[in-house]
Structure 1
C-alpha cells in the first residue's frame, strides 16, 4: 500500500515518509480503507517503500484492499475464465482468441456480495465492451496498483495461456518497474520466442506527437536501462482515437505484439494498437486515493481504417519517388559538340554569310517553329559518321631543265 492513516488522528501518511529520521508520523498506523493495523516497510532492491498488514492480520470484509474478496469477485465476473484454487490463488485462463466471450452460466451459489455495488468489486465488461479476459486482467492490474505491486500480493495471481502451463503474473504482465521492462526488452531484442500474449502496465509519463503525421503517442517509461542499452516504453497507434483519451498520470494496461524499434536515437519498446480492446486505462481519484473503473477507447470505425490505409499508401509512394529518381535518373538528350543536331546545324548555317555558305532550297523550306520539344519527346537520331578524309594531292618530283643537245661535231663531215 502506498498510503496509510494514523490511528489516533486519522492523518494520511504517504509511503514517501518511510525511512525519514526522525519519523514524521505517529504509530500505530491503520489501513487507508479499514481499521486493520499496518506497518511501514523500507524499500529494497526493486521493491519501493510501502505499507503492509501486520502479521496474522487481515483486511476487514468491506475493505477495498481485501485480497480474498477481490479474488472472488473477479472470478465471479470473468465468464468462467478465472478460477480460485484451494490455496486462495486466482488463475486467469486466456482463450485462444482474446476477444471471444465464452458462454458462462453462473452457479447457484455465485451471487454477488450484497455490498459489491458499494465497494465497487463487480467485474463486468466495460463500455465500449472489453473482452472478459482483458477486463479481468485490467481488474487484477488495478488491484495490484493499489497494493503498490507488493510481491506477496502479486504471488496470488497466475495466468494460464491457452494450451500451456500456468505462468506467474510477472511473465504475462510486465511493469511498472524498470527491471521488468528491461527483461521484456532483452527478450524481444534477442528474438526469444514468447508463446503467449504479452501485456504491459505503466503510467503515462508524457504524450507527444509524431513529426511527420502529427499523431499522438504515449510514453509509459523513459530511459529504461537494460544492460548497456537504454530505451523508452511507448504506446502508438495509427488511429488517434486510441491514444487521445490518455493523459499524463493515466494508468494503462496494453495487450498485444510488443516489439523493439531501434531506428531512432533511443530505441523503443513499443506497441502499435490496432483495436480498442488492446488498451485499458483508468485514473486515480486524488481525494479518496481509489482508482476508477477501467475504461477503453471507442472502437475503430471502418472509415478510420480506410483513411489509415490510404495515408499509408501515400507515404509509401512518397518515400519511393525520391529513391527511384536517384537510382535511375532519366536519360538526358544526347548533344555532342562534334555532331550537333540538325536544328543546330540549320541555325548556324543561316547565321553565316551567303557567300561563304549558300543556303539551299531545302533549308529555306524548313519550318520556323521551335522544335526543342522534339528533342525530349522523340529519340535523337544517331550522329552521322564523319566524311572520309580527302587524300592530299601527290607531290611529283620537280622537272629537270632540258639539257642542251650535244653536237656531234667531232663526227661531222666537212663538205
Structure 2
C-alpha cells in the first residue's frame, strides 16, 4: 500500500505515505501503530529494497492479518469483483484470478455488452476497483487489465498480492505471471522486456507497459510522442500516426499501453523500445497526485474517425505490382561492355515505319457487250469441192562452206588503281551543311 493512517489511543489519526518511510519519520522511529487507510487492519512500514529485485517503500499487512471484507484493498473481494465484471475474460481459479489474453491483437477489439451508464455522472466507485469506469467503453480485456494495474499500484506491487494475478493466452493451458504480461513501472521491468524482444525484434503476443509520462516530444511531422523514463542504454516511447490518440495525455499521467512492442535500433543514438498506437483502446491513462497519493478516474482517447480509418487503410494497403519489361536484368551486361539497361533503351525505340500493304486489285470487268442470243441455224448446204493443184518439188541447193575462225584479240592492259577521291564537303555560314 502507498498510504496508511496513524492509530493512537484508540483513535485514527492523519494519513502517512510510503515515500516518507526511507527518511525515517518520527512515527517510524517511535514505532507508532498504523492501520489500513480504509479499514482497521494493522499494517507495518517496509523500506526500499535494493538488489536483484528492487522494490519501493510500502505498507504491508501485519502478520496473520487480512483486510476487512468491505475494504476496497481486500484482494479476495477485488478479484471476485473483477471476474464478475470482465464478461468472461477473467475467471477465478481457487484464490487466483486468471486473465485470458487473445493471441492476436486484433481479437482484443470486440464490442462489449452495452452498459446503461450516464457518461456525465460522477464515478460511483471512489476507490477505482470497478471494471466499467473507462470512457469510451474499452474491451473487457483492457478494462480488466486497467483495474488490476491500479489495484497493484495501491499495494505498492507487493509480491504476495501480485502472485494472485495470472495471465493465460487463449488456447493454452500454461499460465504466466502478471509481470510477464504487464511490464513496469520500474526501469528493471522495462529492461527485461527489452532483453526478451532483442534488437530489431518485436513481441510475439500483445504486451502491456505500465509507466508514467515524463515528457511529450514532437517528431519530424510535428506529431506528439510520449516519452517514458529511460532505461539503461535505451529509451521508451509511444508513437502514433494519429495525433488525436496522444493529444489528450499530459506529463505526469500514468499510462497502460497494450499492443505490439518492438526495439528499433537507429543509425545514431540509443535503441528505442517503442509502440505505435493504432486504436484508442490501446491507451488508458489517469492522473496521479504525488502529494495526496490519490489517482483520478481512468480515461482513454476518442476513437478514430471514419476519415482516419480510411487513411490508415489506404496507407497499409499493399501496392499494386509493377509489370516488368521483358529482357535481361539491370545488373546484366551484354558482350561489348554495354549495360543491358542501355540496350533495353535502344530496343525500346519505336521501329521504322513500314509501308502500308497495297490492297489487291479488284477483278477485271469485261467491256465486251453481252453475247447475242443464239438463233437457230439454217440448214447447211454443201459447197462444191475444187480439186487441189499438183506442185512439183524445188531443186536442191548446194551446201554452204564453213566460216573461217575469228582472229585472236590482244589482252587488255591492266590499269593502275586510282585512290578514291574524298567526298567534297560544303560548309554553311552557321556550321557544316553536309
TM-score in same-fold range (> 0.5): yes
Give the C-alpha shift of residue 14 in structure 1. Answer: 2.1
Does residue 10 of structure 2 align to residue 4 of structure 1?
Answer: no
SS state of the match for residue 233, structure 1?
A: strand
Give the C-alpha shift of residue 274 in structure 1. Answer: 0.7
Q: In 2, Cα distance between the equivalents of 1:193 and 1:236?
A: 15
Partner of 1:34: 39
SS state of the match for residue 200, structure 1?
A: strand
Partner of 1:363: 429
Q: Sort the Cα spacing of 1:240 and 1:36 in 2 relative to 1 into closer, same or farther, 3 A.
A: same
Deviation digits for residues 44-65 of structure 1 (CA, Å, limit 9, x no counterpart): 1311111101111122233221
Q: When the two structures are aligned, how many residues end up with a matched partner?
A: 306
Does residue 132 of structure 2 align to residue 124 of structure 1?
Answer: yes
Q: Sort the Cα spacing of 1:215 and 1:74 in 2 relative to 1 into closer, same or farther, 3 A.
A: same
Counterpart among 190, 201, 204 of residue 181 in structure 1: 190
Deviation digits for residues 30-88 of structure 1 (CA, Å, limit 9, x no counterpart): 222222211011221311111101111122233221211211111110001111121x1
SS state of the match for residue 298, structure 1?
A: coil
Q: What are structure 1's unaligned runs of at least 5 residues?
A: 105-115, 314-359, 367-383, 385-415
Partner of 2:344: none
Q: Sort the Cα spacing of 1:245 and 1:47 in 2 relative to 1 into closer, same or farther, 3 A.
A: same
Deviates most, 116-125 or 8-17: 116-125
Q: In 2, Cα distance between the equivalents of 1:290 and 1:123?
A: 18
The answer (yes or no) to whether the contact 2:201–2:263 under 8 Å persists in 1 is: no
Q: In 1, Cα distance between the equivalents of 2:246 and 2:264?
A: 19
Q: TM-score, normalised by structure 2?
A: 0.64
Counterpart among 210, 218, 226 of residue 209 in structure 1: 218
The answer (yes or no) to whether the contact 1:139–1:294 under 8 Å persists in 2 is: no
Q: In 1, Cα distance between the equivalents of 2:65 and 2:265?
A: 49
Partner of 1:198: 207
Partner of 2:279: 275
Q: In 2, Cα distance between the equivalents of 1:191 and 1:287?
A: 40
Q: In 1, Cα distance between the equivalents of 2:99 and 2:316?
A: 38
The answer (yes or no) to whether the contact 1:284–1:292 under 8 Å persists in 2 is: yes
Q: In 2, Cα distance between the equivalents of 1:119 and 1:206?
A: 28
Q: TM-score, normalised by structure 1?
A: 0.66
SS state of the match for residue 239, structure 2?
A: strand
Deviation digits for residues 125-179 of structure 1 (CA, Å, limit 9, x no counterpart): 6322211111101110111111121111111100111112211101111111111
Q: In 1, Cα distance between the equivalents of 2:207 and 2:60?
A: 29
Partner of 2:335: none
Give the C-alpha shift of residue 183 in structure 1. Answer: 0.8
Q: In 2, Cα distance between the equivalents of 1:305 and 1:279?
A: 17
Q: In 2, Cα distance between the equivalents of 1:307 and 1:243?
A: 18
Q: Sort the Cα spacing of 1:202 and 1:65 in 2 relative to 1 into closer, same or farther, 3 A.
A: same
Q: How large is the RMSD of aligned CA atoms in angstroms?
A: 3.2
Q: Sort the Cα spacing of 1:13 and 1:118 in 2 relative to 1 into closer, same or farther, 3 A.
A: closer
Counterpart among 85, 93, 97 of residue 90 in structure 1: 97
Q: In 1, Cα distance between the equivalents of 2:125 and 2:280?
A: 26
SS state of the match for residue 295, structure 2?
A: coil
SS state of the match for residue 191, structure 2?
A: helix
